[in-house]
Amino acid sequence: MKKKILVTGGGGFLGRYIVEQLRERGDVVTVFARGNYPELERIGATLTRGDLQDNDAIQAACAGMDAVFHVAARPGIWGTWESFYQPNVVGTQNVIDACRTQRVPKLIFTSSPSVVFDNQPQAGCDERLPYPTQFENFYSQTKALAEQMVIHANTSELLTVSLRPHLIWGPRDPHLLPRLIARAKAGQLMQVGEGKNCVDMTYVEDAARAHLLAEQALQPGSPVAGSIYFISQDAPTNLWNWIRELLQTLEIPPIKRTISQGTARTLGAAMELIWRSCRLSTEPRMTRFLASELALDHYYDISRAKHDFGYVPQFSMETALERTLPYLRKYA
């Protein structure tokens, strides 16, 4: 039986893959987004334009849906509190309210491991990891608030689940790897820390597939209902070795400079102060949060996702890179 599915942010990087996989599954898909995405209409999705902060628009979009995938969010590590709070917290509350009012039975929320990152190494941690007492960026803080709202909203009438895919990458990536490549080409990329830290990454097709598997398993009495799950390729990778190999493959000059985590955090704090004082809208090249992310371990145990809804990555890191390289070469 075909399901009627709403995907907020369906025109974004991860959202588009979720829409494509839902259509391949045979579902009737509506995309709620601010922009126009004719490529999604060409594969049979219906486009509804609107803003997460418009409660009436969200209410109308959720009417008659069997499930909502709430993927839309304001990303990034710099900006004002309000610019993150309104879409990420108020927008999520609007989605929850609409699901309740319109009697949507399932809500699948896209979160991030950054909601629990506390500037300490996190090696093989699971979902029992607590939220930090302080956050160093508004994205992580507002996503943590939104995630807690989604989980607390879980009832027998509205089943909810939150997924935390880590460092999503792959073809059509508009942010992570293109920005890294641009900095490397400009000679601005420096290794932060000793270069021994391992991180999780998530290939975008697997990240999308995890969302579909979670939706299928989101049933009354299932452990998935009201739960949180880390998602990754289950292959912790030495970050700086991987970056060096990527740059070499793309024939981009190698990284030549190294900076300690402490120095990078000091530099990040200074840049944050300057950017805040001068009310600059651009993103600083370094922040305290970014320095710690680049220098420390952050990889997670995905055993719960494997056990509760059968998530197993379909692509190795090597295969994922092979599938992504043709896309990345246009940036090299």
Residue 165, SS3?
Answer: strand
Q: What is the spatial distance between Cα 116 and Cα 201, in angstroms, rounded to a whole number?
A: 16
Given 17, 37, 85, 139, which residue is catalytic?
139
Q: In whole angstroms, how far apart are CA 24 and each of 13, 28, 172, 202?
A: 17, 10, 19, 21
Q: Alpha-carbon torsion 173, 177, 179, 182, what sign?
A: negative
Q: In whole angstroms, how far apart are CA 292 and each of 127, 142, 276?
A: 21, 19, 20
297 close to 122: Cβ distance less than 8 angstroms: yes
Q: Residue written as tokens 């939104």? A: 146
Residue 31, SS3?
Answer: strand
User: Is 139 annotated as catalytic?
Assistant: yes
Q: Which residues contact 94 (CB under 8 A, 6 or more apart)?
A: 52, 53, 54, 55, 58
Q: Alpha-carbon torsion 170, 147, 162, 17, what sign?
A: negative
2 close to 14: Cβ distance less than 8 angstroms: no
Q: Which residues contact 40 (CB under 8 A, 6 or more apart)?
A: 10, 11, 16, 19, 31, 47
Q: In the numeric block, which tokens belong to residue 52?
A: 């997460």
4 forms bridges with which residues in the sheet?
A: 28
Query: 172, 229, 233: which is closest to 202 by C-alpha?
Result: 233
Q: What is the spatial distance between Cα 210 and Cα 303, in angstroms, rounded to a whole number?
A: 13
- Which residues in 27-128 belong to E strands, given as ranges? 28-33, 46-49, 67-70, 106-110, 122-125
Q: What is the spatial distance between Cα 45 and Cα 6, in angstroms, rounded to a whole number?
A: 10
Active-site residues, by number, are 139
